[in-house]
């Protein structure tokens, strides 16, 4: 096997609450899981877009935030030791010669498993592209929407655009290693965590960060190599910042992305499933959570939890066709309690 290739029982696409709970249900069936998500952390929408948003309809939890729910789920699945691959987007899903699934991500990682579970919410989160003419020619060479390898930015002249958590976090993390770093935002106020803003201001005082009011309006360079970023001030005037790297952090949007090319008989960008197993029209590929569609579907986290439980029972039959899965309750089964490490 290549260094970037791994085999497992189940591949889960999506690390939101439903994808995380799927790890738990699969773990009870003694199935190991690898989880792939385009975001750089678990939790999906709950953690990325609504970490402080109150949730009132999780059974047994009268109130919790999106981040609290994510943290509780991570604690719950810890005994099953899932393998996470963050900051990676699924690019292709194909069959192997022995009938398993081969999933490839945009980093070249290859995962092989008998079962694939799509728990991608409304689809993949993709970065919002700033409205800069010709930016496409620089993407992947001088313009990046995520930091995959921090060392790749060492010594670079970086412009970071944005005022949220991602922009401020990477400003703080990249400043000590950058050749020069300029943070650009259209307002003096930020939407990031106060502590991160404080750290950025300290770096600014130390001369490691330069802050400018405005927005990127134009890129100067050729053949994908950036020479300068043109910044437009609120009064309409412009100025150049010499730079070889632009990191725009303008938030995320939802798109179905490569999942649309998996041959899953889509219906209005949703994946039809049967309600006995939550299997798609493609054998051994399941869809749970907001990504699926069936009569009576409710887009609730608790509905996704129910779907994950039934999916895990069916997934076991594909992974271990010669074994019978005996249904047990965690309250009374010493075997399951040993798996959960509470016995």
pLDDT in tens, 113-132: 999 999 987 655 567 889 99
Residue that terminates a domain, selected from 228, 250, 272: 250
Q: Does residue 145 share a domain with residue 88?
A: no
If asked whether residues 28 and 69 sit together in one domain, one would say yes
Same domain, 257 and 238: no
Average pLDDT, the chain: 90
Same domain, 122 and 258: yes
pLDDT at 9 over 50: yes
Could you say which of 200, 226, 250 is where a domain stops?
Answer: 250
pLDDT recorded at residue 1: 42
What confidence tens digit (pLDDT) does each residue in 135-182 have?
A: 999 998 999 987 867 889 999 999 999 999 889 999 999 999 999 999
Residues 11 and 76 grouped into a single domain: yes
pLDDT in tens, 235-281: 999 999 999 999 999 876 655 555 666 666 566 678 899 999 999 98
Residue 42: its pLDDT value, please? Answer: 93
Query: Over the stretch 279-327, which tens digit does the pLDDT of each residue have?
Result: 998 999 999 998 899 999 999 999 999 999 999 999 999 999 999 999 9
Q: Which residues face 247 on adjacent strands? A: 160
What's the burial of 255, exposed, middle or buried (CB within 10 Å: 0-12/13-18/19+)? middle
For residue 49, pLDDT over 70 is answered with: no
Q: Are 153 and 168 members of one domain?
A: yes
Beta bridge partners, 55, equal 64
Q: Does 176 share its domain with 119?
A: no
Written as six digits, the tokens of 168 are: 């401020």
In this structure, the answer to whether residues 162 and 193 fall within a common structural domain is: yes
Q: Are 139 and 287 found together in one domain?
A: no
How many Å apart are CA 252 and CA 84, to the nearest integer? 21
What's the pLDDT score for residue 238?
A: 96
Check which CATH number belongs to the domain holding 291 and give it. Answer: 3.50.50.60
The average pLDDT across 80-102 equals: 92
Residues 6+ apart with CB under 8 A from 200: 168, 171, 172, 183, 209, 211
Q: Looking at the structure, do residues 299 and 201 belong to the same domain, yes or no?
A: no
Total number of domains in the chain: 2
Each residue of 194-206: pLDDT tens digit? 999 999 999 999 9
Say yes or no: 18 and 97 in one domain.
yes
Full domain range(s) for residue 202: 129-250
User: Mean pLDDT, to the nearest integer, of 98-124?
Assistant: 89
Q: Please say which residue of 190, 217, 250 terminates a domain.
A: 250
Q: Does 41 or 258 have the greater pLDDT score?
A: 41
What's the pLDDT band for 218 if we cut at 50, 70, 90?
very high
Q: Are residues 136 and 273 in the same domain?
A: no
């Amino acid at each position: 096997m290549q260094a970037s290739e791994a085999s497992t029982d189940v591949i889960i696409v999506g690390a939101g609450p439903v994808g995380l709970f799927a790890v738990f249900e699969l773990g009870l069936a003694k199935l190991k899981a690898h989880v792939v998500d385009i975001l750089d952390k678990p939790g999906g929408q709950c953690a990325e877009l609504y970490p402080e948003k109150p949730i009132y309809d999780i059974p047994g939890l009268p109130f919790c935030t999106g981040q609290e729910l994510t943290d509780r789920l991570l604690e719950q699945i810890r005994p099953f030791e899932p393998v996470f691959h963050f900051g990676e987007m699924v690019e292709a899903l194909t069959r192997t010669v022995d009938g398993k699934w081969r999933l490839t991500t945009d980093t070249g990682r290859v995962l092989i498993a008998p079962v694939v579970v799509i728990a991608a919410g409304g689809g993949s989160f993709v970065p919002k592209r700033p409205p800069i003419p010709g930016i496409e020619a620089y993407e992947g060479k001088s313009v990046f929407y995520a930091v995959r390898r921090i060392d790749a930015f060492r010594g670079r002249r970086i412009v970071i655009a944005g005022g949220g958590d991602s922009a401020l976090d990477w400003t703080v993390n990249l400043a000590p290693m950058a050749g020069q770093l300029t943070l650009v935002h259209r307002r003096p106020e930020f939407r990031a965590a106060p502590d991160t803003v404080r750290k950025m201001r300290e770096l600014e005082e130390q001369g490691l960060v330069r802050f400018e009011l405005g927005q990127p309006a134009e890129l100067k360079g050729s053949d994908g190599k950036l020479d300068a970023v043109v910044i437009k001030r609120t009064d309409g005037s412009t100025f150049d910042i010499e730079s070889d790297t632009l990191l725009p952090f303008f938030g995320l949007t939802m798109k179905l992305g490569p999942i649309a090319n998996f041959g899953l008989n889509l219906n209005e960008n949703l994946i039809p499933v049967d309600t006995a197993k939550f299997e798609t029209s493609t054998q051994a590929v399941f869809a749970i959570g907001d990504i699926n569609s069936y009569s009576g579907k409710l887009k609730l986290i608790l509905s996704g939890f129910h779907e994950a439980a039934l999916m895990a029972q069916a997934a076991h039959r594909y992974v271990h066709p010669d074994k019978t899965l005996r249904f047990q309750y965690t309250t009374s089964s010493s075997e399951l309690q040993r798996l959960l490490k509470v016995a």
